[in-house]
A and B are shown apart, each in its own frame.
Chain A
């Protein structure tokens, strides 16, 4: 389904508790280690070769600053093409919350060259050629992508490039799409855990725009004028604010020329892309929120703000999360699930371009109380702060991480998706360098970051408290 906003809880990430849904990242001082097959840069007219890391090459379209990442792989005759715009809900303000996401929807309403009336819209083209396509919006980025047979690549590049600057953005389309987005919003509100995470996030961030959900506040969704959307589009949808990623079965030189042919028609943005200068003020005490709605089982979430996604402490936090929640050997499983306090428990970090958010999550087992579960979650953090972790635990989760890293790269779309999240956070090379950094994490590193970031005074705790279902007897 086209479009998705990121509202998730770590507890949902049963299979991959390391890189929480949206990836993760860090900027490390250590130089990148090239992968085993570093391709020689292709000399292509109009492009500047920037670097190659781990078999992925970065180029820049010299005329307008478009960044291009190329990861050729010829083991299957398919290719994933993706464009990531470095704009997300962090770029919104009151009155335009949700605008990034609405704009993402509007990107499927047609551009001057490709639209339903002409019979060649992005939907019509991709479904005719059997492409798997989608788009998504998060706090830090918006991406559009499709996986197609190699022979269908040029057609998709042409459409994607056209809608970068020639989107129709009609008021009639906004009106129809507003109710679609409203329904998406309403679907999300059916789930108490989503509501709880939104409430915890809103309490944890006071000044940073991560305070509001990516899908926006309902009143903004309903009322944002088309002119504001146009302004948003004209501010952020430029080649110098975008990264194109191509993964799979393609010819490097030929594809660069296609990118130049279709994206080279645009200039650099007329004004600099606005930078966010807001900083989160210091938190001066624990915060608590409670959600009450009909349901059966409660939930506890404990959040702490942690450094920016590219911070060098993130690999240690990643290992801490794995020790707490990856598999049956994990501490939260043993302390909560195995003891009958929780049905599921997890720990993870939602990595952001600005301050990230670490969350502990537990869904209460029947008969367990919120207070019991909260106490147990905090006790596990305290044990790490006080006593650290064992070398055996570190080695176990490193092996899990490295194997999961291989699994995550099964398929061109998976590679593009992973790169997308690193691009959003600010450094795509961490796609390669983060796993390398994980290999160097020590038990002392994990204890150090636990002590540094998990102070109760810096916490935001949320409870979802189920209440008896009210009278609802149908129409």
Chain B
């Protein structure tokens, strides 16, 4: 156990208002029977203050989704990179990041995806990377396509890559989606709009980054991620 896990003066900070979605989202139909109705119970984290130390020894890294056995996937090759920190801008080293996404045609390599778009045999669409000592990560993929879903008439998901992250403690666990700048579907997507604060939504959109771009090879996008950390709680002023 590290000091952070056992020091009772350290706690999670509350989320800023509007920065996280509520469970019940009227325009996202699947929340209707799945969002809890009873009030949540505020818990003092105990076992949640520690967390798994997942490593590439147990879960092999795969930072290149853009090919299978050396055969290139169809689509626009991209490099996605960024930095994972906590709220105090401290890097989160050795964090496991899992990513998954649709192919360039907007089809997942998944038996339950029935969208009438072609499967690409050279694109499986899942990867796993770990942040370095400075909290930095990087992987190569292709730009995912938009795809329809049955939430409402003409519902199409914007281009997105799913991210799953494990931080320094269980309470830092985050699953989110990275979007692409300039996507017209963002304006009408109920899942993106489940986050009330427009600035918090905008932070889910990656930045096109010419410095990450590799000439003659791939476009670069930067997506920085902030996980919950354990922090010294400020003294309450009576």
Partners in one complex: no
